[in-house]
């Protein structure tokens, strides 16, 4: 297992180097690992476009007209959903064309989804750049086989994979050309419902720095080699082996996972996931598109698709309003009020009012990183306190006018029991700044009980445009007010105050990755009363029951390296509030932690990027 860093952070590195430094501690081990992967794309269904629906919706009504004409369901998926069949010509050329455009477009406006009809595809290498998703259209990953690769590498960033965000692979079987597929990603890059008939290498070519990542409902027949990956969460999957660990590797419900051994090596392993429900996905039934809704599992282990037809229900595309960029929030809300679900095709959606999801069982599914931008300080999306809402696969990008909240799951005071049919929030990512000035007081608020937040990255940008301590001000990342909420794969970074605040009872988090805000100008700017700095993860003083596994917080105060952070985690000291496998890390000595949780745990050690750990608290 690699144990030495691949590089050493330099004091005063610019914020744009933040991921560079974060990777500096990633162990670089030479090992076999091969390149790229492949995928095809290029056809679309026919039907009424949402732009036509928008036009129809905007026709003025006469005084006697009491009701707007119904909005159509289904329709064309638009120009940025590129659909391939096994006989489609020019698949590799189309993949390469989009990759060339998206490879380094970290804050660009392009958004793409490649969809592969069931069948076999030979000799492809689908390299994925920013805001690019690839997926099969079968009910099982094995329905769509690529004899080739689906590759993420880091040539665009000189072999540094720590900024390989916002891309995804889903529902495909891969037979890698070299026997090993390369998936060198960082945050917001899920690998879901995949079958790799070989190994999986999570490091870039050359084994440079990497900071990921997330796998769910997948089977990797060979070994997974994280190599330089600093942290990783794998859920409800099967692996043929796991090669090494750097700081924080967490597994729940994974067949073949390494045994519990934190902190040496830093493996946190739960035999099962307490509650899970896989992300909805688009598939083809004959020539018709449908959306499959996997059922909830309790104490889950292994994939959902290995033994026969997956369990769940499906909806025809005709029950979805197929939204296209440029559609108004009023039209989206009219579609929801009419009883339709939402399918957000790739692109950017400006909102002058919140999307209101009020009906039980509503699905809001994004393709190709559809992006919601709230204008004039509104909330992007909020839900009612009802059963079974599913939000999945989109990005919320804060606007230049401060939003009090960006995403609200349930109204304040929500109290209904949703244990039988919870709301799920999956691959929903939030960004404040980076693509331009953005501001929000609290990014995500979870009020509804039993909500499952399954893989999110809530990020106050530390690089890009519109970035500065006050420029992209965002005090709080996630606030959980609801009881019985479960987070599986929680990535929250760089907020001006608390990154996570948890006030609900019986909350649980499996895997947490955090960096404190790099750009704090001085100690006074982060002072929290008499406490030095705001904890990354704060459990409310009134909470009596809470539990977390595999939680890590890192600091890199590069503007003022003398800043001291009292602890990464703060919680009531009572028996019902439990933590397992905690760590804090000072990246190259830029800032220091005095403790890990409350007043427990050793301080970080000078300029050496070595985690300080607590195995069990209290």
Give the contacts of 373 (CB within 8 A, at least 6 positions apart).
348, 349, 350, 351, 380, 396, 397, 398, 399
In whole angstroms, what is the distance from residue 187 CA to residue 167 CA?
Answer: 9
Task: Give me the residues paired with residue 269 across strands.
Answer: 251
Cα(291)–Cα(284) distance, integer angstroms: 9
Do 165 and 190 meet the contact criterion of CB atoms below 8 Å apart?
no
* Short-list 395, 427, 388, CA closest to 409: 388
pLDDT on residue 5: 31
Across the chain, mean pLDDT equals: 91
- Say what angle helices 329-338 and 50-57 make with each other, to 10 degrees: 90
- Please report how many Cα atoms fall inside a 13 Å half-sphere around the Cα of residue 399, on the Cβ side: 23
515 is catalytic: yes
pLDDT of residue 30: 29
For the stretch 415-434, pLDDT in tens is 999 999 999 999 999 999 99
- Alpha carbon 329 to its chain centroid, in Å, reads 24
Round to whole Å and give the CA distance between 208 and 5.
10
Whole-number pLDDT of residue 306: 87
Stretch 488-494: mean pLDDT, rounded?
A: 98
- Nearest residue to 414 (alpha-carbon basis) of 388, 451, 379: 451
pLDDT of residue 573: 97
pLDDT higher than 60, residue 50: no
DSSP 152-215: B--GGGTT--TT--SEEEES-EE--TTSEEEB---SS--EES-EESSEEE-S-TT---B---EE
Tokens standing for 151?
A: 């590759």
Give the count of beta carbons closer than 10 Å to the beta carbon of residue 375. Answer: 15
- Provide the pLDDT for residue 16: 38
Give residue 67's pLDDT band: very low, low, confident or very high (50, 70, 90): low
Q: Which residue has the tokens 């909420």?
A: 485
What local confidence, expressed as pLDDT, does residue 309 receive?
Answer: 81
Cα first-last separation, the chain: 30
d(CA 484, CA 119): 42
The per-residue pLDDT for range 378-426, each reduced to its tens digit, is: 999 999 999 999 999 999 999 999 999 999 999 999 999 999 999 999 9
**One of 103, 470, 515, 547 is an active-site residue; which one?**
515
Q: Write the pLDDT tens digit of every residue in 69-86.
A: 899 999 999 999 999 999
Q: Which SS3 state, helix, strand or coil, does residue 91 take?
A: helix
**CA 169 centroid distance within chain:** 12
Q: What would the mean pLDDT of 131-150 be, rounded to a whole number?
A: 98
Q: What are 582-611's pLDDT values in tens digits? A: 999 999 999 999 999 999 999 999 999 999
**Would you place residue 612 in the very low, low, confident or very high pLDDT band (cuts 50, 70, 90)?**
very high
| In the predicted structure, residue 20 carries a pLDDT above the cut 90 | no
Q: Which two tokens stand for residue 512?
A: 């947490």
307: number of Cβ within 10 Å:
9
**DSSP annotation of 16:** G
Query: The tokens of 271 are what?
Result: 């035999």
Q: Using alpha carbons only, give the angle 479, 480, 484 rounded to the nearest 5 degrees.
A: 170
Check residue 308 and give its pLDDT: 78
Cα(498)–Cα(477) distance, integer angstroms: 7
Confidence category of residue 531, pLDDT binned at 50, 70, 90: very high
The encoded tokens of residue 130 equal 């920013």
Model confidence, pTM: 0.91
pLDDT one-digit tens code per residue, 289-314: 999 999 999 999 999 998 878 899 99
What are the Cα distances from residue 301, in Å, to 140, 216, 329, 580? 17, 11, 39, 20
* 466 strand-pairing partners: none
pLDDT digits (tens, 9 = 90+) for 170-192: 999 999 999 999 999 999 999 99
pLDDT at position 62 is 37
**HSE toward the beta carbon, residue 548, CA cutoff 13 A:** 28
> pLDDT above 90 covers what percent of the chain?
88
In this predicted structure, what is the pLDDT of residue 212?
Answer: 87
**pLDDT at residue 254 greater than cutoff 60:** yes
Q: Strands 486-493 and 452-460: what pairing?
A: parallel
Q: What is the DSSP string of 250-309?
A: EEES-BTPPPP-TTSS-EEEESSEEEEEPPPEEEEETTEEEEEEEPEEEEE-S-SSSSSS
Per-residue pLDDT at 33 exceeds 60: no
Query: What angle is formed at CA 138 by the lines to CA 185 and CA 181, rounded to 5 degrees?
Result: 30
In this prediction, residue 73 carries a pLDDT of 96
User: Residue 479's Cα: distance from chain center in Å?
Assistant: 17
pLDDT digits (tens, 9 = 90+) for 347-376: 999 999 999 999 999 999 999 999 999 999
Mean per-residue pLDDT for 19-43?
Answer: 35
């Amino acid at each position: 297992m690699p144990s030495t860093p691949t590089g050493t952070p330099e004091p005063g590195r610019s914020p744009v180097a933040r991921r560079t430094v974060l990777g500096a501690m990633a162990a670089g081990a030479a090992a076999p690992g091969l390149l790229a992967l492949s995928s095809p794309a290029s056809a679309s269904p026919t039907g009424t476009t949402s732009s036509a629906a928008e036009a129809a919706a905007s026709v003025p009504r006469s005084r006697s007209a009491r009701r707007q004409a119904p909005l159509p369901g289904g329709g064309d998926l638009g120009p940025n959903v590129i659909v391939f069949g096994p006989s489609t010509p020019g698949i590799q050329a189309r993949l390469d064309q989009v990759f060339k455009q998206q490879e380094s477009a970290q804050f660009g406006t392009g958004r793409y989804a490649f969809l592969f009809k069931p069948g076999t595809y030979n000799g492809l290498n689908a390299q994925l750049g920013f805001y690019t998703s690839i997926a099969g259209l079968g009910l099982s990953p094995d329905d769509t086989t690529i004899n080739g690769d689906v590759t993420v590498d880091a040539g665009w960033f000189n072999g540094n994979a720590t900024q390989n965000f916002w891309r995804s692979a889903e529902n495909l079987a891969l037979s890698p050309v070299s026997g090993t597929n390369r998936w060198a990603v960082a945050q917001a890059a899920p690998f879901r419902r995949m079958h790799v008939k070989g190994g999986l290498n999570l490091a870039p070519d050359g084994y440079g720095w990497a900071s990921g990542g997330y796998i769910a409902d997948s089977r990797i027949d060979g070994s997974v080699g994280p190599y330089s990956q600093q942290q990783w969460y794998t859920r409800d999957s099967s692996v043929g082996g796991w090669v090494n660990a750097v700081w924080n590797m967490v597994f729940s419900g994974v067949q073949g996972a390494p045994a519990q051994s934190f902190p040496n090596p830093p493996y946190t392993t739960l035999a099962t996931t307490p509650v899970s429900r896989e992300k909805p996905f688009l598939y083809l039934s004959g020539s018709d598109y449908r959306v499959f809704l996997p059922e909830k599992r309790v104490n889950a282990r292994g994939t959902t698709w290995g033994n026969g037809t997956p369990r769940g229900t499906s909806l025809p595309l005709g029950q979805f309003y197929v939204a296209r960029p440029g559609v108004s929030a009023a039209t989206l809300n009219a579609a929801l009020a009419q009883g339709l679900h939402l399918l957000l095709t790739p692109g950017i959606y400006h909102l002058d009012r919140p999307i209101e999801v009020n009906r039980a069982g509503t699905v809001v599914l994004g393709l190709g990183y559809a992006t919601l931008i709230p204008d004039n300080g509104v909330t992007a999306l909020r839900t009612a306190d009802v059963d079974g809402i599913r939000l999945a696969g989109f990005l919320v990008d804060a606007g230049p006018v401060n939003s009090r909240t960006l995403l609200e799951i349930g109204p304040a005071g929500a109290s209904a029991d949703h244990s039988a049919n919870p709301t799920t929030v999956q691959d929903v990512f939030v960004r404040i700044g980076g693509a331009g000035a953005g501001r929000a007081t609290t990014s995500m608020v979870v009020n509804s009980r039993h909500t499952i937040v399954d893989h999110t990255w809530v990020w106050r940008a530390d690089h890009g445009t519109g970035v500065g301590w006050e420029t992209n001000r965002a005090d709080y990342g996630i606030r959980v007010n609801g009881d019985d909420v479960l987070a599986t794969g929680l990535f929250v970074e760089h907020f001006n105050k608390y990154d996570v605040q948890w006030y609900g009872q019986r909350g649980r988090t499996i895997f947490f990755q955090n960096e404190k805000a790099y750009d704090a100008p001085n100690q006074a700017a982060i002072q929290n009363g008499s406490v030095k700095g705001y904890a990354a993860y704060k459990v409310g003083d009134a909470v009596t029951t809470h539990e977390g596994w595999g939680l890590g917080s890192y600091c890199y105060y590069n503007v003022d390296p003398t800043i001291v952070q009292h602890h990464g985690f703060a919680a009531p000291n009572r028996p019902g509030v439990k933590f397992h496998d905690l760590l804090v890390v000072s990246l190259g000595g830029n800032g220091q932690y005095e403790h890990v949780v409350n007043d427990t745990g050793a301080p970080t050690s000078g300029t050496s990027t070595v985690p300080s750990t607590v195995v069990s608290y209290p």
